[in-house]
Amino acid sequence: MSGPRLRAGVMGWPIAHSKSPRLHGFWLRRYGVDGSYAPVPVPPGTFEQELRRLIDEGWRGANVTIPHKEAALAAADEATPRARAIGAANTLVFGPGGLVLADNTDAFGFLENLKDRAPAWRPDRPALVLGAGGAARAVIHALLEAGAPEIRLANRTLARAEALAAAFGPSVRVLPFAEAGAHLGGAGLIVNTTSLGMKDAPPLDLDLAGAEPDALATDIVYTPLVTPFLAAAAARDLAVVDGLGMLLHQARPGFAAWFGVEPEVDDALRAVMLEP
Ligand code: ATR
C-alpha cells in the first residue's frame, strides 16, 4: 500500500478551521491529481522540527499560516523578493536535497481577486487601507508594486501603522483610525485588512459619506462574505469585492508548484468554499 504520490498541506496552529484543505482538495479532484493536501497542526515553537519531518517524508511543500509565517521565511534556504518584502512566507516549496524555497502569495492573491471581480479598477489613485497587521503588509506591497501613487494607512494602534509606513517609504501616509472617513476624497480603493466585521467581531465603523462615487471597496474578511463594511459600501452604490477570492487566488502558485497544474478559480470553486 502506498499513499498519494504528491503530498502537501497547511502548517498552522490552530489549524482545524483552515479552509485550505477544502480548496486544494477541490482542485486535486478536478484535475485528477494523484496527490493529497492535509492540515498539519504545528504548535508554537515546533515549526522547524515539523518542517524537517515533512521534508524527510518527501512532501512537495506546504502553505503556512498563523502563527508561523515569519518562522517560515526565516527557516527557508531561498525566498522570493515578494516574500522578503512582506517579511513573511505563506507558501513553501521543497526542492532537491531538502532545500526550502519560501514565497508569499498574499499580495498576488489580493490583486488577482480585484482583477477578477472588478476588472475596470486601476491602481492609479490613492488607496485607503485600514489595519496594520500581516495582511496589511501584503496589501500595501501589492498596491505599491501595482503603481498606486499613495497609501493612506489607518490603524487603531498608531505605532504599528507608523512602523509599516517606515518600512514602505513616503508613499504610505499614516492617519489616526478615527479620522479615516475624513480621508476618502480622491481615493479609488478602500480596503479593510482588520478583523473587524468578521463573524463574532464588532463591525468596521467607517463613515463612507466622503467616498468617491466610483471608488471600490474590498475586505479581506470573508466570513461573512458580505461584511457590514461591504454592505454599507454597496448601499452607497460603490463597487464591492468580497474577500473570498483573495484566499482562492493566493492558493494558485502553491498548487501549481506542488502538483504541476495551473488551477483555475471559478464559480464552482466559490460555491464549494461557501458550503457550511
Ligand atoms: P493579520 O496578520 O491577519 O492582519 P493582526 O496582525 O492580528 O492580523 O492584525 C489585525 C488587525 O486588525 C490590526 O490592524 C488590528 O489593529 P491593532 O494593530 O490596533 O491591534 C486590527 N483590529 C483588531 N481588532 C480591532 C478593533 N476592535 N478595532 C480596531 N482595529 C482592530
Closest CA to 257 of 108, 147, 111, 144: 108
C-alpha cell at 230: 461591504
69 as an active site residue: the answer is yes
**Averaged pLDDT score across all residues of the chain:** 97
Which atom of ligand 1 has the smallest separation from the CA of 132?
14
Mode of pairing for the β-strands spanning 216-219 and 189-192? parallel
The CATH number of 107-245, from 3.90.1150.10, 3.40.50.720, 1.10.150.120, 3.20.20.210, is 3.40.50.720
pLDDT at 4: 84
Distance in angstroms (rounded) separating the CA atoms of residues 214 and 55 = 49
Distance in angstroms (rounded) separating the CA atoms of residues 104 and 84 = 8
Domain spans of the chain, in order of start: 6-105+251-273, 107-245
Q: Could you read off the pLDDT of 20-57 as tens digits, one per residue?
A: 999 999 999 999 999 999 999 999 999 999 999 999 99
Architecture (CATH level 2) of domain 6-105+251-273: 3-Layer(aba) Sandwich (3.40)
Cα 181 to ligand 1 centroid, rounded to whole Å: 18
Report which protein residue has its CA nearest ligand 1's atom 12: 194
Distance in angstroms (rounded) separating the CA atoms of residues 189 and 122 = 9
pTM of the model: 0.97
Helix (H, G, I), strand (E, B) or coil at 275: coil
Confidence of residue 3 (pLDDT cuts 50, 70, 90): confident
Decide if pLDDT at 121 tops 60.
Answer: yes
Q: Which residues line ligand 1 (CB under 6 A)?
A: 131-136, 155-157, 160, 193-196, 202
